[in-house]
Structure 1
Amino acid sequence: MKVTIDNPAGAPAPAGPYSQVARIDFGTGAMLFVSGQVAIDEDGNAAFPGDMAAQSEALFVALGQLLEAHGATLADVVNIRTFLTDMNQRAEYARIRGKYLTEPLPTSTTVEVSRLFKDGAVIEIEVVAAVSSS
Structure 2
Amino acid sequence: MEKTAPHVTLDNPAGAPQPLSPYYSQVAHVRQADGSALLFLSGQIAEGATLAEQSRGVFETIDALLKAHGATLADVINIRTYLTDISRLEEYGAVRREFLTGTPPTSMTFEVSRLFRPEAQIEIEIVAAVTGG
* Identity across matched positions, percent: 54
> Could you list the runs of 4 or more consecutive aligned residues of structure 1 that deviate by over 2 angstroms after TM superposition?
none
The amino acid that maps onto 1:55 is Q
Distance 1:74 1:81 in 2: 14
The question of 1:30 aligning with 2:37 is answered: yes
User: 1:2 maps to what in 2?
Assistant: 7
RMSD: 1.0
What one-letter code is carried by the residue in structure 1 that aligns with 2:17?
P
Provide structure 2 residue ranges, at least 5 long, that are not aligned to the other structure. Answer: 1-5
Would you say the 8 A contact 1:64–1:74 is kept in 2?
A: yes
Residues 2, 24 of structure 1: 8 Å contact kept: yes
Aligned residues: 126
State the partner residue of 1:43.
none
Q: TM-score, normalised by structure 2?
A: 0.91
Deviations 1:89-131 (A, max 9, x none): 1100000000011221100000000000001100000000000
Residue 2 of structure 1, CA deviation? 0.9
Partner of 1:19: 25
| Structure 2 residue identity aligned to 1:11 | A
1:133, 1:70 → 2: CA distance?
11
Equivalent pair of 1:25/1:133 in contact (CA under 8 Å): no
Aligned to 1:123: 122
Residue equivalent to 1:99: 98
Which residue identity lines up with residue 111 of structure 2 in the other structure? Answer: E
Partners of 1:57 and 1:122 in 2: CA distance: 12
Task: State the Cα distance separating 1:133 from its structure 2 match.
Answer: 2.8
Match of 2:132 in 1: 133
Paired with 1:90 and 1:37, the residues of 2 have a C-alpha distance of: 17
* Structure 1 gap ranges (5+): 40-46
Amino acid at match of 1:9: A
